[in-house]
Chain A
């Protein structure tokens, strides 16, 4: 394996490494990838992500695929490993899902701004939808190390699309499970259960991971309750370094000005009250530089 990065001794910032696939296992509707990627695990903080080049060395697929990190193991029989859970929803991820053990993998990471962690031992509600909830488990671990009380809400369209409900019961004070079809847990989405849960637990911070409507709903529920919110956007495809400016969304800065920020550099974690959720997919007319 080779490794290049910002100084070999540094333990912050991303590295570019040639790693390899250790295993890809089915996890319900998803794929659970474990890869060896030297240097990534040591630098990882919950919420940061990796991008991988897909298709092998001769591939002419031009864009890297973003993968949220479920958890890392800095040391082990194979050196540092990184685990990601994803859906094979397009050809690049389908290649990854089918990659046999030992497949070389070009990995960049960890990338982006991770979750901000509270300094005080506060009460946190973690909300996740589908396999987007995977990064919340390493977050829960860090929060408990800080003596925070952690509650979790996990939802999906159906039981097969839930992720991590068993692990959640071990890792948190309480778990609420929701499914759209009612096949398990509360029927409906994750957002409707939040107001009651936030009140009952006197939550101080909401951490959310999922599609935009879940993030928007979680941010709104947090604001209503007077809690902070940290929302994790989908790990963006493209480059992961900020070069391509493909993963932009409108967000309000400290100065009150809206800018098109990059999910890969300014995110993927953004304060929920900073994102212009209703303007996703657009350049608002008051965004800086909009014509």
Chain B
């Protein structure tokens, strides 16, 4: 029998429970697209994550970019993987049921080359069991395009399936966020990364097989914070998911304070596949240290002029 003293529900401590646009999560700590998958299962309980965002799925299989696909940059990582994935059908028959069986809250990341493909992805995911939410991987940093893509995805998904718009690198994020929200996005995800390049010192040619890539990792944490701050400032009612160089509970809390309702871990999972467990525990400690009773108490705190 559980005594009142040992029951976790009665223990004094902050609540990590998070409502992300209707998706109930036990914690605001998620994995970012391409950085979470079955590969993490030996190192961390995936069902303890706020949610797992899948590797980005396209309608047809993609072989991805030629190697090398990633390289270290100062305090970061420049990468261009090229969305290698087995295609929607293989995803629906292998990965998705695997996640569903383990009760992993699964956010399916999708990308497409045309509105028609985005619509078909949404239609086929609308009837697939085990889809907690859909994250739209946007590649054109343009408000009008963003709005059109979000519109077709939203139209073909059930009302209860949240749509997250992961905004494209570059462009004005507030305009894009506004367009996404106006077309039915339940939240925006910031950021994918920043356009970047590394040069091979021996050949003096771009190091990556694809040429250029995106910078992610600790180097972009302050840049991502700024984007989350800007969007929350302009659109305080829109849920934002913050991603960019988060590797500690304090950095996760900073993202919440800047206006994020939840956070995604990316490159830190390459260095430490159990990082989500650690960051979640550190976040709970950080909330306690700041006398915050819940995650929602921290969201947007940095924008308030007076402290409680």
**Chain A contact residues, CB within 8 Å of chain B:** 4-6, 13-16, 53, 60-64, 106, 108, 238-239, 241-249, 259-260, 265, 281-283, 287-291
Contacts and interface: CB of A to CB of B under 8 A. Distances in A.
B62 A248 contact: no
Nearest to B62: A289
Interface in B10-25: none
B68 interface: yes
Interface of B: 34-37, 39-44, 60-72, 74-77, 79, 81, 84-87, 209, 217-219, 267, 269-274
Contact of B70 (A4, A244, A259, A265): A244
A62 B271 contact: yes
Contacts of A63: 70-72, 77, 270-271
Nearest to B84: A245
Contact of B274 (A4, A13, A265): A4
B270 A289 contact: no
A230 B37 CA distance: 29
27 contacts: A5-B42, A6-B42, A16-B43, A16-B272, A60-B75, A60-B76, A61-B271, A62-B77, A62-B270, A63-B270, A64-B270, A106-B271, A239-B269, A239-B271, A241-B42, A244-B70, A244-B79, A244-B81, A245-B69, A247-B67, A260-B63, A265-B39, A281-B66, A283-B65, A289-B62, A289-B86, A291-B62
A283 B77 contact: no
A290 B83 CA distance: 11
A105 B255 CA distance: 29
Nearest to B216: A62
B184 to A, nearest CB: 30
A61 B72 contact: yes
B129 to A, nearest CB: 25
A244 B139 CA distance: 20
Contacts of A244: 34-35, 69-70, 79, 81, 270
B93 to A, nearest CB: 15
Contact of B87 (A60, A248, A289): A289
Q: Which 4 residue pairs spanning A and B have beta carbons closest together?
A: A289-B61, A60-B75, A239-B270, A289-B63
A239 B265 CA distance: 14
A245 B81 contact: yes
A62 B42 contact: no
Contacts of B42: 5-6, 13-16, 241
Given A16-B43, A281-B67, A289 B60 contact: yes
A260 B64 contact: yes
Given A244-B70, A287-B63, A288-B63, 11 more contacts: A5-B43, A6-B41, A60-B219, A62-B218, A62-B270, A63-B71, A63-B270, A239-B39, A246-B70, A289-B61, A289-B85
Identify the interface centre among B42, B86, B267: most chain A CB within 10 Å of its CB. Answer: B42
B70 A238 contact: yes
B39 A243 contact: yes
A110 to B, nearest CB: 12
Nearest to A241: B39
Nearest to B65: A283
Which of B34, B72, B76, B218 counts the most chain A CB atoms within 10 A? B72
Nearest to B268: A62
A60 B272 contact: no
A243 B270 contact: yes
B219 to A, nearest CB: 8
Contacts of A13: 42
A246 B66 contact: no
B240 to A, nearest CB: 24
B49 to A, nearest CB: 14
A53 B272 contact: yes
Given A14-B42, A60-B75, A243-B35, A249 B67 contact: yes
Contact of B69 (A246, A288, A290): A246
B278 to A, nearest CB: 10
Contacts of A14: 42-43
A122 B74 CA distance: 50
A249 B41 CA distance: 24
B223 to A, nearest CB: 15
Contact of B273 (A16, A246, A260, A288): A16
